[in-house]
Amino acid sequence: MDPDRRYEGLEHVTHYYNPSVSPARVYVSDGRVQMVYVPSGAAVAETTPSEIDAQIGGRGHRLRSRTGKTANQYVQAERGVAYSEDEGRVQFVEIFPPRSLEAYLKDIYRDPGPFTR
Protein backbone atom coordinates (compact mmCIF):
# COMPACT_ATOMS: atom_id res chain seq x y z
CA MET A 1 0.00 0.00 0.00
CA ASP A 2 1.31 3.39 -0.97
CA PRO A 3 -0.92 6.36 0.03
CA ASP A 4 -1.22 9.73 -1.70
CA ARG A 5 -0.11 8.64 -5.15
CA ARG A 6 -1.15 9.69 -8.62
CA TYR A 7 -2.18 7.78 -11.71
CA GLU A 8 -2.32 10.01 -14.77
CA GLY A 9 -5.01 12.59 -13.86
CA LEU A 10 -6.19 10.80 -10.72
CA GLU A 11 -4.61 12.43 -7.68
CA HIS A 12 -4.46 11.53 -3.99
CA VAL A 13 -5.15 7.85 -4.58
CA THR A 14 -3.80 4.93 -2.58
CA HIS A 15 -1.80 2.53 -4.72
CA TYR A 16 -2.01 -1.22 -4.08
CA TYR A 17 0.43 -3.54 -5.82
CA ASN A 18 1.65 -7.02 -4.96
CA PRO A 19 3.36 -8.63 -7.97
CA SER A 20 3.40 -12.03 -6.27
CA VAL A 21 -0.42 -11.98 -6.34
CA SER A 22 -1.26 -10.03 -9.52
CA PRO A 23 0.43 -7.80 -12.10
CA ALA A 24 -2.44 -5.31 -11.74
CA ARG A 25 -2.04 -2.04 -9.91
CA VAL A 26 -5.12 -0.83 -8.05
CA TYR A 27 -5.78 2.82 -7.19
CA VAL A 28 -8.33 3.60 -4.48
CA SER A 29 -9.81 6.85 -3.18
CA ASP A 30 -12.49 7.33 -0.53
CA GLY A 31 -12.92 3.56 -0.18
CA ARG A 32 -13.70 3.09 -3.89
CA VAL A 33 -11.58 1.62 -6.64
CA GLN A 34 -10.83 4.42 -9.09
CA MET A 35 -8.55 2.50 -11.47
CA VAL A 36 -7.22 -0.98 -12.11
CA TYR A 37 -4.18 -0.79 -14.39
CA VAL A 38 -2.97 -4.00 -16.01
CA PRO A 39 0.39 -3.60 -17.79
CA SER A 40 1.57 -5.60 -20.77
CA GLY A 41 3.04 -8.94 -19.89
CA ALA A 42 1.59 -12.18 -18.68
CA ALA A 43 -1.83 -10.73 -17.85
CA VAL A 44 -2.54 -9.32 -21.31
CA ALA A 45 0.16 -10.94 -23.47
CA GLU A 46 -2.24 -13.34 -25.18
CA THR A 47 -5.15 -10.88 -25.41
CA THR A 48 -5.72 -9.18 -28.74
CA PRO A 49 -7.34 -5.80 -29.34
CA SER A 50 -10.17 -7.50 -31.25
CA GLU A 51 -10.92 -9.73 -28.24
CA ILE A 52 -11.20 -6.67 -26.01
CA ASP A 53 -13.31 -4.87 -28.60
CA ALA A 54 -15.71 -7.82 -28.74
CA GLN A 55 -16.15 -7.71 -24.96
CA ILE A 56 -16.70 -3.95 -24.67
CA GLY A 57 -18.77 -3.35 -27.78
CA GLY A 58 -16.25 -1.89 -30.20
CA ARG A 59 -13.05 0.02 -30.34
CA GLY A 60 -14.32 3.24 -28.85
CA HIS A 61 -12.69 6.65 -29.02
CA ARG A 62 -9.08 6.75 -30.25
CA LEU A 63 -6.50 8.76 -28.32
CA ARG A 64 -2.75 9.09 -28.39
CA SER A 65 -1.06 6.53 -26.19
CA ARG A 66 1.81 7.13 -23.81
CA THR A 67 3.34 3.77 -24.80
CA GLY A 68 4.91 5.02 -28.03
CA LYS A 69 4.72 7.05 -31.19
CA THR A 70 2.87 4.39 -33.19
CA ALA A 71 0.57 3.26 -30.36
CA ASN A 72 -3.08 4.20 -29.99
CA GLN A 73 -5.24 4.21 -26.91
CA TYR A 74 -8.90 3.25 -27.25
CA VAL A 75 -11.45 4.14 -24.61
CA GLN A 76 -15.03 3.08 -24.01
CA ALA A 77 -15.48 5.40 -21.03
CA GLU A 78 -19.16 4.58 -20.59
CA ARG A 79 -18.13 0.91 -20.24
CA GLY A 80 -15.19 1.73 -17.92
CA VAL A 81 -12.46 0.28 -20.13
CA ALA A 82 -9.50 1.67 -22.03
CA TYR A 83 -6.52 -0.03 -23.60
CA SER A 84 -3.42 0.81 -25.57
CA GLU A 85 -2.30 -1.16 -28.59
CA ASP A 86 0.68 -1.04 -30.88
CA GLU A 87 0.99 -3.21 -33.98
CA GLY A 88 -1.81 -5.48 -32.82
CA ARG A 89 -0.39 -6.04 -29.33
CA VAL A 90 -2.12 -4.84 -26.18
CA GLN A 91 0.21 -2.58 -24.17
CA PHE A 92 -2.00 -2.02 -21.13
CA VAL A 93 -5.60 -2.15 -19.99
CA GLU A 94 -7.38 0.31 -17.69
CA ILE A 95 -10.57 -0.63 -15.86
CA PHE A 96 -12.39 2.13 -14.00
CA PRO A 97 -15.86 3.18 -12.86
CA PRO A 98 -17.87 4.04 -15.99
CA ARG A 99 -18.12 7.72 -16.84
CA SER A 100 -18.62 9.96 -19.84
CA LEU A 101 -15.81 10.38 -22.33
CA GLU A 102 -15.58 14.03 -21.27
CA ALA A 103 -15.08 12.98 -17.63
CA TYR A 104 -12.41 10.43 -18.63
CA LEU A 105 -10.55 13.08 -20.62
CA LYS A 106 -10.81 15.57 -17.77
CA ASP A 107 -10.16 13.31 -14.78
CA ILE A 108 -7.92 10.49 -16.02
CA TYR A 109 -6.35 10.83 -19.46
CA ARG A 110 -3.21 12.84 -19.99
CA ASP A 111 -2.06 13.48 -23.55
CA PRO A 112 1.54 12.25 -23.83
CA GLY A 113 2.57 15.14 -26.07
CA PRO A 114 4.84 14.76 -29.06
CA PHE A 115 7.31 11.88 -29.17
CA THR A 116 10.82 12.92 -30.10
CA ARG A 117 14.01 10.99 -30.69
**Whole-angstrom distance, CA of residue 63 vs CA of residue 42:** 24
pLDDT grade for 117, boundaries at 50, 70 and 90: low
Q: Which has the minimum average pLDDT: 29-38, 40-49, 53-62, 85-94? A: 40-49
Tens digit of each residue's pLDDT (9 = 90 or more) over 26-46: 999 999 999 999 998 767 778
Closest CA relative to residue 53, chosen from 67, 74, 38: 74
- CA dihedral sign of residues 82, 83, 84, 87: negative
**Whole-angstrom distance, CA of residue 42 vs CA of residue 6:** 24
Residue 116 reports pLDDT greater than 80:
no
The DSSP code for 94 is: E
